[in-house]
Structure 1
């Protein structure tokens, strides 16, 4: 019965062959499961349904605080931001889709959509488009 509603969706579940790599950088201490269920599953679904690619995977960037505990050992690293990996078949259309959906998903100010040597930056109210990358080592 449900198969009649799924007609045409199986090809959207396949990973695209010809795509460009993009990253979505979300500032804050977001653990991997929270990143997955708060952002990744929705971004992946929207990209696939629109035929613009997929989002599978991501990561977390830590930074060394430089602090030491009383014994002189380095303190734990802190999370700077989390990253969503995006494979886009059309960068400009994928950027537009991400700029629409990321604020709806609660992406905070400072969120970046990066591709090549450029990025779109969200300031909490609006997007600043195609700026030079502010973070290169992801």
Structure 2
């Protein structure tokens, strides 16, 4: 029965085969489940429906943590990461810039693509700046 409502949507549910990788960097320590339910599922749905790509996962960016050391220490979490596979980088950037503030993204949120990033200062986006974080 539900199949009749899915006509044309099956293709949108497949991960893109030809894409450009983008990263959305959200400052602060955010639990992976919170990241997923607060940001990823919404951005993924919007990207897929618009035909701009998909949000395919994420991670956590740590600073000065030695994962090979057996000494217990305090992990310093810098930010949480959303991975995006964009089939249309400009369209994906615009969509992400629209929805991240609506979803409660804090100041300092970055949308990274190629050698550039769009930076949210809490009020507005600053577009096409050089990357401030080189390796994620």
TM-score, normalised to structure 2's length? Answer: 0.92
* Regions of 4+ moved over 3 Å: none
Q: Deviations over 1:105-128 (max 9, x none)?
A: 110000000011000000000000
State the superposition RMSD in angstroms. 1.3
Alpha-carbon contact 1:64-1:76 (below 8 Å) kept: no
- Secondary structure at the residue paired with 2:107? coil
Q: How many residues align?
A: 131
CA drift at 1:4: 2.2
- 5+ residue gaps, structure 1, are 66-72
CA drift at 1:74: 5.9
1:35 maps to 35
Distance in 2 (CA, whole Å) between partners of 1:74 and 1:58 is: 25
**Bigger radius of gyration:** 1
- Secondary structure at the residue paired with 1:25? strand
- Secondary structure at the residue paired with 2:29? coil
1:100 maps to 98
